[in-house]
Amino acid sequence: MEIKVAKFGGSSLANASQFRKVRNIVEADPTRRYIIPSAPGKRDKHDHKITDLLYKCHVLAQKGQPFTEVFALIKERYLTICTELGLSLDLQADLDEIEARIKAGASADYTASRGEFLNGKILAAYLGFAFVDAADVIFFDAEGRFNAVKTQTVLSRELARYPRAVIPGFYGSTAGGQIHTFTRGGSDITGAIIARGVNAALYENWTDVPGFLMADPRVVKNPKPIREVTYRELRELAYMGASVLHEEAIFPVREAKIPINIKNTNDPEAPGTLIVSDNGNYRPPGSITGIAGRKGFTIIAIEKTLMHSELGFGRKLLSVIEDHGISFEHMPSGIDTISLVIADNQLNPNKLDQVLADIDHVCKPDSIEVIKDIALIATVGLGMAYTPGIAAKLFTALAAGGVNVRMIDQGSSEINIIVGVENKDFEEAMRRIYNAFVPPETPSL
Ligand code: ASP
């Protein structure tokens, strides 16, 4: 039977009624055989995430201060979920042990991981699935790096023993048996690793949003969801700031060519967003997949007559910024000009002056111009750069909005066009591009 791995985020398991939705989803498809829960998230915007409360207990315990009150909130959340679901599961011994270990100086990772551990136990009991502790199947080395080889071997062997199991997200163990967590939001990564380990046909990632949107909803009103996106397109969009999924969660499944379906627990029938591998995908001509962008870049534009024939000019220039520990985002060039686009967080004011002085000294350009307060916008779509008319549409839309384009970079990738505009034009530019490619739906008569 084919296998689906389903990861449910914190808001999908925040209380008993969310657990009921999750059970309906799991029971609706018998191929959903391995389930990865996060810790309970916020029930409303004033609520606390269990993981945050656990970290708080750890901090208080480290300072020798009482944490009983905070721990009581955690206990109450879990016990209420169990009571409301009518479970006879007894968590008291686990809760007592966790409290005692935090008091005795347990690590931040152990403490935080208990959110997923307890939620996993509850979900396993509620679904009637086996509970497999992530500490027994997900491994890190002594430096805290994920040990893919050991994990893959043990995981596939262990899970083969259970036709259906719940494996808590977010953590695993080191060779010395210590609990170690991924970075925040890391249950996405656990889900991807398990999907790969059991060679799943699909990795479902259940959240509280309808999937990826074509643009940032804080900028573009009601952007359409993206139905299908390739891993490469997603990488471009994520780099520019679009996010739903933990970035590191992409790699294990991408390598194994397992598609990811982002789904909404509160609207399970909706298709969500399907992330697929890059081969053989088709997009209707003239369409794009999404738009993403970020403010806060500086362009250093360098001009020198006969630059193009000066051997080593680019190397000298790049060695200057490398010596300053700066990485650049883009480097568009002309015959006698070259520009570096650098994120502002790489350049504090003193550093910029130093870099300019060093470029002047090492490269001896005719002029250096600094253009500050630049935003970058990536318009992403498979094969769009080879579709006639896309660039014309994009730049016509920007011109119509009075947006001055300060930089264009299409690079060698055929999947995006990046434009640099002034920070103040960012929102207008995003909306203009979106509306050019996604015309408002005409109301049916
Ligand atoms: N509970 C952890 C966090 O809040 C991990 C996760 O939810 O993915 O970061």
| Ligand 1 near 186 CB (within 6 A) | yes
Question: What own/partner pairs with CB < 8 Å and gap ≥ 24 does 19-26 have?
Answer: 19/81, 19/85, 19/122, 19/123, 19/126, 20/85, 21/265, 21/266, 21/268, 22/123, 22/206, 22/265, 23/126, 23/127, 24/268, 25/206, 25/265, 25/268, 26/127
Mean pLDDT for 135-161 is: 95
- Which residues, in sequence order, are CB contacts of 97 under 8 Å at separation 6+? none
Q: Strand 179-181: give its sheet, edge to edge.
A: 139-140, 171-174, 179-181
| Ligand 1 near 185 CB (within 6 A) | yes
CA of residue 202 to ligand 1 center, whole Å:
22
43 residue type, one letter: R
> Phi, psi (5° rounding) for residue 387?
-95, 120
| Ligand 1 near 168 CB (within 6 A) | no
CA of residue 14 to ligand 1 center, whole Å:
12
Per-residue pLDDT at 412: 65
Report how far residue 141's alpha carbon sits from residue 144's, in angstroms, rounded to the nearest whole number.
Answer: 5
Per-residue pLDDT at 387: 77
Please report, in angstroms and rounded to a whole number, the separation of the first and last CA atoms in the chain. Answer: 47
Ligand 1 atom index nearest CA of 190: 8
Cβ atoms < 10 Å from Cβ of 283: 17
Contact (Cβ atoms closer than 8 angstroms) between residue 372 and residue 337: no
Give the model's confidence band at 443: pLDDT under 50 very low, under 70 low, under 90 confident, else very high.
low
| Ligand 1 near 12 CB (within 6 A) | no
pLDDT above 90: residue 279: no
Report how far residue 68's alpha carbon sits from residue 103's, in angstroms, rounded to the nearest whole number.
Answer: 10
136 residue type, one letter: D
| Ligand 1 near 40 CB (within 6 A) | no
Give the model's confidence band at 285: pLDDT under 50 very low, under 70 low, under 90 confident, else very high.
low
Give the model's confidence band at 348: pLDDT under 50 very low, under 70 low, under 90 confident, else very high.
confident
| Ligand 1 near 10 CB (within 6 A) | yes
Q: Which two tokens stand for residue 167?
A: 């494996």
CA of residue 214 to ligand 1 center, whole Å:
25
> In the block, which residue shows the tokens 């471009």?
236
Kindly report the average pLDDT of the chain as a whole number: 92
| Structural domains of the chain sorted by starting position, each given as residue range(s) with its CATH number in brackets | 4-276 (3.40.1160.10), 290-437 (3.30.2130.10)
Per-residue pLDDT at 442: 59
Per-residue pLDDT at 124: 98
Per-residue pLDDT at 385: 62
Reduce the DSSP state of residue 202 to 3 states and report it: strand
Per-residue pLDDT at 1: 78
Give the model's confidence band at 335: pLDDT under 50 very low, under 70 low, under 90 confident, else very high.
confident
User: Best of 8, 48, 51 to mutate for ligand 1, by most ligand atoms within 8 A of CB?
Assistant: 51
Mean pLDDT for 197-202 is: 96
pLDDT above 70: residue 440: yes
Mean pLDDT for 92-96 is: 96
Mean pLDDT for 319-328 is: 95
* Cα distances (angstroms) measured from residue 103 to each of 59, 93, 343: 11, 15, 43
| Ligand 1 near 39 CB (within 6 A) | yes
pLDDT digits 0-9 by tens, 3-38: 999 999 999 999 999 999 999 999 999 999 999 999
Residue whose CA is at the smallest distance from ligand 1 atom 6: 185
User: Best of 11, 138, 184 to mutate for ligand 1, by most ligand atoms within 8 A of CB?
Assistant: 184
Mean pLDDT for 45-64 is: 97
Q: Is 364 exposed, middle or buried (0-12, 13-18, 19+ CB in 10 A)?
A: exposed
> In the block, which residue shows the tokens 């009991």?
125
Q: Which of 225, 224, 245 is nearest to 235 (CA)?
A: 245
| Ligand 1 near 115 CB (within 6 A) | yes
Report how far residue 249's alpha carbon sits from residue 192's, in angstroms, rounded to the nearest whole number.
Answer: 6
Give the model's confidence band at 343: pLDDT under 50 very low, under 70 low, under 90 confident, else very high.
very high
| Ligand 1 near 170 CB (within 6 A) | yes
**In percent, how much of the chain has pLDDT > 90?**
78
| Ligand 1 near 293 CB (within 6 A) | no
Give the model's confidence band at 431: pLDDT under 50 very low, under 70 low, under 90 confident, else very high.
very high
Q: Is 393 exposed, middle or buried (0-12, 13-18, 19+ CB in 10 A)?
A: middle
| Ligand 1 near 41 CB (within 6 A) | no
